[in-house]
């Protein structure tokens, strides 16, 4: 199964870090948050990625083009123009990097990667949120259901809009910002048929497509009571850094090699 990561936004509420790089490349513990997200998926056996690029997408391309160098200890001999690798840590990942436009909205980005998808379901998430969600279980739940789309529902503060869920975890509707409730935590599992709900480049995935899927009874929620945190502002980055430096980051579900 493939995992699509939306990594093209401008991160306007995070200008302290995003003037020179896209938000998914902002580092936590010395690694881009995009890397952390990919490690989460890889820990659950999903290692084939499609990354939707936009704002300063070349930074992401250059990072992965030079990934082996980034992750290795090397000695560079300038006199002989040679490079010796002493220790390396390469990931068994396949990564397709797709330019989806600087101004394209989230739904439009998803629509543009259609040629790179298979016929079966795929995962999708945002390039700024980490969680200890059980990806494999969420895929299993999706495959047992009948809906075209499944969103991971998480608990979060009231600055987010909430999901109105029925007892069977079908999403009935979306509500604007309230004090508490289940919210869209990303980590979707989707049928390729959801692309039919996206009209053009300026379609926001979180608006008309999800609302229409909910109205059609085609949006299921996978409830996750564990850790989830998105990096929306500087204080979010600082909170994630604190988790990582403690050595007990909740989203670190992988084992170090």
Q: Where are the domains of the chain?
A: 2-245
Nearest-10 crossing angle of helices 135-144, 33-43? 60
Report whether pLDDT(18) > 90: no
H helices of 94-185, in order, are 106-112, 135-144
Residues 127, 7: contact at Cβ < 8 Å? yes
Q: How confident is the model at residue 10, as a pLDDT? A: 79
pTM of the model: 0.88
Q: How far apart are CA 215 and CA 167, in angstroms?
A: 16
Which comes out higher in pLDDT, residue 172 or 69?
69
Assess contact for 144 and 181: CB atoms under 8 A: no
Report residue 242's pLDDT band, with 50, 70 and 90 as the boundaries. Answer: very high
| Angle CA 211–202–101, to nearest 5 | 130
pLDDT tier at 179 (50, 70, 90 boundaries)? very low
- CATH superfamily placement of domain 2-245: Spore Coat Polysaccharide Biosynthesis Protein SpsA; Chain A (3.90.550.10)
Strand ranges (E), the chain: 2-7, 27-28, 31-32, 48-53, 73-77, 82-87, 94-99, 122-126, 129-131, 149-155, 162-165, 171-175, 182-184, 188-190, 219-223, 228-230
């Amino acid at each position: 199964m493939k995992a699509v990561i939306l990594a093209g936004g401008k991160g306007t509420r995070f200008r302290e870090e995003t003037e020179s790089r896209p938000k998914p490349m902002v580092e936590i513990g010395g690694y881009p948050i995009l890397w952390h997200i990919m490690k989460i998926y890889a820990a659950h056996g999903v290692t084939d990625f499609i990354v939707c690029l936009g704002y300063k997408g070349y930074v992401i391309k250059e990072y992965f083009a030079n990934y082996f160098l980034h992750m290795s200890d090397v000695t560079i001999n300038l006199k002989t123009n040679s490079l010796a690798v002493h220790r390396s840590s390469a990931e068994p990942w396949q990564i397709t990097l797709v330019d989806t436009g600087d101004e394209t909205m989230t739904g439009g980005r998803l629509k543009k990667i259609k040629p790179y998808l298979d016929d079966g379901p795929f995962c999708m998430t945002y390039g700024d949120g980490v969680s200890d969600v059980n990806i494999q279980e969420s895929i299993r739940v999706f495959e047992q259901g009948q809906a075209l789309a499944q969103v991971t529902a998480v608990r979060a503060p009231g600055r987010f809009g909430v999901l109105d869920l029925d007892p069977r975890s079908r999403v009935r509707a979306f509500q604007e910002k309230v004090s508490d409730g289940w919210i869209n935590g990303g980590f979707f599992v989707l049928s390729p048929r959801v692309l039919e709900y996206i009209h053009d480049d300026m379609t926001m995935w979180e608006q008309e497509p999800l609302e229409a899927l909910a109205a059609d009874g085609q949006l299921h929620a996978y409830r996750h009571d564990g850790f989830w945190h998105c990096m929306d502002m500087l204080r979010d980055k600082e909170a994630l850094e604190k988790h990582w430096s403690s050595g007990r980051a909740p989203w670190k579900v992988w084992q170090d090699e």
